[in-house]
Chain A
């Protein structure tokens, strides 16, 4: 089966406020999807709702992963199914070293203890690929990291945890050119025919070095148009005005 994520007619709220209003999305193995849209359209909400962040409530609709309804699974169980999310603002966890955290998380995901020597070696290889400061993994998780370091650290976690579907929530926002290059390198390192990526973004730069299969425009809680990279160029030129008008 090639099907990874299937979202059917999803409605979701943040508190009383309706944010997703009948969203549909299918992602298969081997694909890279991009979601673009104006601020407040529901892009980050979508990522959080897939992951069952308790801040949001699903009102109706279904989220399936590999054909299984994951509507009511807790966040950790969704992660164990093979879904990953790179956070827009990764949390800082004092007192826990990055390496210790990676080891614990990996152990939970694969459901057995990791072999520490090989594991560390693998992590350090990724650290080098991402052009990260090698001392960062010994420091407390994300504590005092710059914006760019935090985002690279998310990509490092993605590489280490090897999810089937990686959702990158504005991973490129606020990054300088070099950091974007490193992130894009990380994505290419991760990508195979067996997994998929959903990139939520505002801008083009990250997409330049990637082979994008689908581009979706998300406006007011719904996907209003799906296309290919041409759609990105169109939006770059004209913004979201045209799509918004359609909605009115």
Chain B
């Protein structure tokens, strides 16, 4: 009686537009000291940066692959080019960006978004940033928003003080790899007391097959300042594995506020092994908003380290895993000071055999008296072959805390589907409505144009009403 129905995969057509792999330079596949040195030389980097890279390479060779979590055996570093220079210099006008690259960003809506709702934009294509701009009035207020290579040249003292300090190179194997071969990314400095009301956005596009993207994002929001930073990522699909091992280091100084939003829509041949951390000062706050839709395998656990008294963090995340996707995501928070608080609201949707894991760490240290942490995670499975797991680690070392953890894993309800169908919605529409409703508490936190994008992404275009 009931028709076979199917919630479609995320609509990826605009993301899958491939440009010709027409690079200016692509380094040989694999990783060794020569390759690392060559990348550094091409960038005319100072000696101290080359030293960090080579130390990191040593560390990379020493560290083992993580033995927990998704299977990474398909990733063969010998087949990955760690550096691909696009045929474009860094431009400050879209008109100067080569047509094929500009067209990609046009289709992704980046220049349009810049006009409408952003105060600065960075766009990276493969290993290099091809476009960067910031509104004049922010420059006057002392705000710096530029690509990382420029930052190394022009603000070496700030970079030296902060680069790979929030995330040490020994953190895990892919952080070490990142530090050895990093290229591109954004640098932001917001001076004391400056409130940046309109968001800055960096967009990362990996076009070249069998390659990796290793952008580095370094953001310092000085005392009493505030910023909303948005990052977007996508890539067309190839048959061979691509690797993304970015690193995000965020410094949120006393009384400062940072909102860090991410929409990740890598293609399904991508290993997304990304690292993000924030150091949060006294009465400061970092809010993470994350939508993870793409990639074959993701291991991504943004981390807030609440070092200052009264520091706060909120994590709002949604993960959508379809066929052959294994998305292992979550959040880590370390409470290191009194009166700190954290709120986690995580949702996941899995379908067609996709697998979502919520993996998390909450640590409340001895010094963190009168701290609060509340965690809620919910998973929705759209069929009987998909997976959903919740793996929380709670390490509470102080009695004077309020801690709550709520986890809910469930299959989409046949009763709800019947109820909606009795009001004239087809089975597909009913499922789509339930999923949209499930995702709503997260999608409403995204910037407006991204909320629309997310609805397109979740875009439960359904097929199969035969009969």
Contact = CB atoms under 8 A, between A and B. Distances in A.
A157 B434 CA distance: 18
B433 interface: yes
Contact of A105 (B413, B416, B425): B425
B420 interface: yes
A105 B425 CA distance: 6
Given A90-B419, A105-B424, A157-B423, A74 B1 contact: yes
Interface stretch (B60-68, B127-135, B349-357, B436-444): B436-444
B437 A93 contact: yes
B424 A80 contact: yes
Contacts of A95: 436-441
A75 to B, nearest CB: 4
Interface string B149-178: 000000000000000000000000000000
A13 interface: no
Nearest to B443: A95
Given A95-B436, A95-B440, A72 B422 contact: no
B326 to A, nearest CB: 26
Contacts, number: 83
Contact of B414 (A54, A78, A105): A54
B437 A94 contact: yes
Contacts of B441: 95
Contacts of A74: 1-3, 421, 426-427
Contacts of A104: 425, 429, 433
A215 interface: no
Contacts of B420: 91, 93, 105
B418 interface: yes
Contacts of B419: 87, 90-91, 93
B438 A94 contact: yes
Contacts of A157: 423
Interface of A is mostly: mixed
A1 B197 CA distance: 65
Interface in A149-188: 157, 161
Interface in A68-111: 72, 74-76, 78-80, 84-85, 87, 90-91, 93-96, 101, 104-105, 108-109
Interface of B is mostly: helix
B140 interface: no
B422 A51 contact: yes
Contacts of B3: 74
Interface in A40-76: 51-55, 72, 74-76
Nearest to B420: A93
B348 to A, nearest CB: 15
A16 to B, nearest CB: 18
B440 A96 contact: yes
Contacts of A87: 419, 422
A75 B437 contact: no
Nearest to B419: A91
B415 interface: yes
A91 B413 contact: yes
Interface in B394-438: 413-416, 418-427, 429-430, 433-434, 436-438
A24 interface: no
Given A74-B3, A91-B413, A54 B418 contact: yes
Contact of B421 (A72, A79, A101): A79
A140 interface: yes
Interface string A224-240: 00000000000000000
A52 B418 CA distance: 9
A195 to B, nearest CB: 16
B223 to A, nearest CB: 38
Contacts of B438: 94-95
Contacts of B418: 51, 53-55, 75
Contacts of B429: 76, 104, 108
Interface string B426-464: 110110011011111100000000000000000000000
Contacts of B436: 95-96
A142 to B, nearest CB: 9
Contacts of A84: 422
A141 B440 CA distance: 13
Contacts of A108: 423-426, 429
Best-surrounded residue of B413, B415, B437 (most CB of chain A within 10 A):
B437
Contacts of A78: 422
A120 to B, nearest CB: 18
Nearest to A86: B422
B426 to A, nearest CB: 5
B447 to A, nearest CB: 19
Nearest to B441: A95
Given A51-B422, A91-B415, A72 B437 contact: no
A180 B56 CA distance: 73
A85 B132 CA distance: 58
A75 B433 contact: no
Contacts of B427: 74, 76
A161 B423 contact: yes
A80 B3 CA distance: 17
Contacts of B425: 76, 104-105, 108
Contact of B422 (A55, A75, A93, A101): A75
Contacts of A52: 1
9 contacts: A53-B418, A76-B425, A76-B430, A87-B419, A91-B415, A91-B420, A95-B441, A105-B423, A105-B424
Interface of A: 51-55, 72, 74-76, 78-80, 84-85, 87, 90-91, 93-96, 101, 104-105, 108-109, 140, 157, 161
6 smallest CB-CB distances across A and B, nearest first, come from A95-B437, A95-B440, A108-B424, A75-B421, A105-B423, A91-B419
Given A72-B1, A79-B422, 20 more contacts: A74-B421, A76-B421, A76-B422, A76-B425, A84-B422, A90-B419, A91-B419, A91-B420, A93-B419, A93-B437, A94-B440, A95-B436, A95-B438, A96-B433, A96-B436, A105-B423, A108-B424, A108-B426, A109-B423, A161-B424
